[in-house]
Structure 1
Amino acid sequence: MAAKQETKDGLGAQIMRVVAWPAELTFRLLDYPLTVLQRLFGIKAMPYVFLLPNIAFFGIFVVLPLFINFAFSFTGGTQLFLTDRVYTGTEQYGFLLDCGSYLDPVTCREDRFWKGIYNTAVFVFFQVFFLVLFSLITALILNRKIRARGFFRAVFFFPVLLSPVVVALIWKWILLRDGILNAALVSLGFDKILFFVSPEWSMFWAIFVSIWAHMGFYTLILLAGLQAIPPDLYEAAEMDGTSTERVFWRITLPLLWPNMLVVIVLALIRGVQIFDEVFVLTGGGPGTATQFIVQYIYTTGFTEQVQNFGLAAAASVVLGVVLFVLTLTQLAVARRRDDG
């Protein structure tokens, strides 16, 4: 019996050695160049050696395209390569900013650009407000001791795992003239609603689908903040007979503010950059009712018959500056609130 056990143990050890052999070989092959680098640069420089591939990747695919885009914004023509393009100075920016009244896109020389800005501002205002509100309410509910809490947390987070294109296609299938929602309305005796024909309905569903798709991510951030609040504070407030509303405004919200700031900044940046799901859902229509600034940049630079790379680059620079200013403003307001 003991001999059989020893044979079984020996066979198991051999199998483990065979399975572990590729990993062991890989580690040995990696160990040699790392050892050489450590001898050349010293052990203190090794963190920078490990960071170098990421820095190089970031520089090539993020920083370098930013500089190329900035250079394109000062050029004109239809040529693709920067060396073949004509330098036009700030002409592209002047074309974009030439308006009789910045509050009325019709008076602007490039009215589609300002219509995109107007649509984006409306979208961001309502989307960010309701996204943060619903995420906060959902996080507060999921933080309570309710039945199947883990299940509901997974359900609310599930849409985040889907591709924005998949989300848009699902909701487009639901909202089409002969889609599921209209079929339900007809079965209840109502008339069909052409959701993608009315500008108001199109904007509403663009905001709704965006909130539905991304709310789980921000709920998770707020839920982590709620769980980090010490339970002793709530127990002390309960012993003092403090009302639920006062506990929320005096304890929960102030301690949750750092997470709220992260959520607001991320939601604002993503809202301004909205493109993929709305482009698939409405195509920017009807007309230009849901054409946002990123779609304007995309169509101007890539899909129009005459591709204006310089104008698209200038519009993207303007968008980047606006995002940078908004982020700095939010951070400054938050810092002043913390200092006060």
Structure 2
Amino acid sequence: MTLKSRWLSQEATAAWLLLTPALVLLGVFVLWPIAYLVYLSFTTGSFTRSGIHWQGWQNYQRLLMDPDFWQVLANTLYFAIATVIPSLVLPLGLAVLLNRVVALKGWLRTAYFIPSITSLVAVGLGFRWLFQPDGPVNDLLLSLGATAIPWLSSPVWAMPVLILLSIWKQIGFNLVVFIAGLQAIPLTRYEAAALDGAGAWQKFWHITLPGLQPTLVFATVTTLIFTLRSFEQVYVVTGGGPLNSTNVLVYYIYEQAFAQFDFGYAAAAATLLLLMALLLVYIQLRTWDKETS
């Protein structure tokens, strides 16, 4: 064995020794729960003396035939689309404006970021109070001569309240991400465009947006994942109602597992949610590879 190969072998051994604790934790707390989740999705029963029993693809067949699941999936799609688009457009515009502001820039970024680190339970209770039938929002509508709206008891208006809460919660995180992306775009591009007579909109369309494309992909995927795993706001504000109009996928999984104790069926729905999240991550990685290649 040459000196070089011996050194490489020693480096590899040291690397594996250093990585072993992290790999063990990853296997115990991430890989094993995922594998057990997939296994549960093919079973029926509960964690009692009766135990769980293998039943194959029946849980997935039930999902495809269950109208409640399709309504929940439609609710989740509506919630995700209506949350993601404003959660990207609003912080992008704010980031462009704040990137030009010199005074109070740090204070403004902090103010916008505070909702991202606020407890969703506390925020949910606050929104529930705001949108009560006799709450401040309806008081404002009445003072303007409008009619009070039964926000949380209406199948039409309950979901917009959750969407507004989620947008307010996500704006600060995306704002910080976009500001970091803007600061990575070289100023020389804007100076060259100004010399060529480009206006503000042309600079934004031809320099800012292309320069932010990897950041946009990251923000889109993370915001989608945030909306797909939404649970606290539904649990605190609406409880999935009224008439199942705000029941999204994670809350549906919770109800099936811990209210109906149908763990196999809930595991099948959770496995589909996991596949959706993995697909989003795959799209992000492929897009990132195209941008960096």
Same fold (TM over 0.5): yes
- My pick for the range that moved more, 59-68 or 209-218, is 59-68
Aligned to 1:317: 271
- The alpha-carbon distance between structure 1 residues 232 and 333, as it changes in their structure 2 partners (threshold 3 A), is closer
Match of 1:150 among 106, 109, 129: 106
- My pick for the range that moved more, 151-160 or 186-195, is 186-195
Contact 2:152 2:158 in 1 (8 A): yes
Aligned to 1:123: 79
User: What SS does the corresponding residue of 2:153 show, helix, strand or coil?
Assistant: coil
Aligned to 2:215: 259
Q: CA deviation at 1:172?
A: 1.1
Match of 1:75 among 43, 48, 55: 43
Contact 2:83 2:167 in 1 (8 A): yes
Aligned to 1:55: 23
Q: CA deviation at 1:331?
A: 4.5
Contact 1:112 1:296 in 2 (8 A): no
Name structure 1 gaps, 5 residues minimum. Answer: 1-40, 99-109
CA distance in 2 between partners of 1:50 and 1:313 (Å): 34
Name structure 2 gaps, 5 residues minimum. Answer: 1-8
Match of 1:270 among 201, 226, 230: 226
Q: TM-score, normalised by structure 1?
A: 0.77
Post-superposition Cα deviations, 1:133-155, rounded to whole Å, max 9, x if no partner, equal: 11211111111125322211111
User: What SS does the corresponding residue of 2:141 show, helix, strand or coil?
Assistant: helix
Among all aligned residue pairs of Structure 1 and Structure 2, give the percentage whose two residues are the same amino acid. Answer: 35
Post-superposition Cα deviations, 1:104-152, rounded to whole Å, max 9, x if no partner, equal: xxxxxx2221111110011111211111111211111111125322211
Contact 1:138 1:219 in 2 (8 A): yes
The amino acid across from 2:43 in the alignment is T
The amino acid across from 2:279 in the alignment is V
CA distance in 2 between partners of 1:232 and 1:186 (Å): 53
The amino acid across from 1:259 in the alignment is T
The amino acid across from 2:32 in the alignment is L
Post-superposition Cα deviations, 1:278-308, rounded to whole Å, max 9, x if no partner, equal: 221111111110100111110000123xx10
CA distance in 2 between partners of 1:67 and 1:221 (Å): 33
CA distance in 2 between partners of 1:202 and 1:135 (Å): 24
Contact 2:96 2:179 in 1 (8 A): yes
Aligned to 1:225: 181
- My pick for the range that moved more, 183-192 or 67-76, is 183-192
The amino acid across from 2:137 in the alignment is L
- Higher relative CO (Cα under 8 Å, sequence separation at least 6) belongs to 2
CA distance in 2 between partners of 1:148 and 1:196 (Å): 37
User: What SS does the corresponding residue of 1:183 show, helix, strand or coil?
Assistant: helix
Contact 1:275 1:294 in 2 (8 A): yes
Match of 2:160 among 181, 190, 204: 204
Q: CA deviation at 1:56?
A: 2.1
CA distance in 1 between partners of 2:287 and 2:48 (Å): 42
Post-superposition Cα deviations, 1:138-177, rounded to whole Å, max 9, x if no partner, equal: 1111111253222111110010111111111111111112
CA distance in 1 between partners of 2:182 and 2:209 (Å): 9
Matches within 5 A, 1:1-340: 45-80=13-48, 84-98=51-65, 110-304=66-260, 307-329=261-283, 331-332=285-286
CA distance in 2 between partners of 1:218 and 1:210 (Å): 12
Structure showing greater radius of gyration is: 1
Post-superposition Cα deviations, 1:251-289, rounded to whole Å, max 9, x if no partner, equal: 111111111111011111222221112221111111110
Contact 1:206 1:278 in 2 (8 A): yes
CA distance in 2 between partners of 1:48 and 1:143 (Å): 44
CA distance in 2 between partners of 1:309 and 1:143 (Å): 49
Question: Please, what is the CA RMSD of the aligned residues?
Answer: 2.3
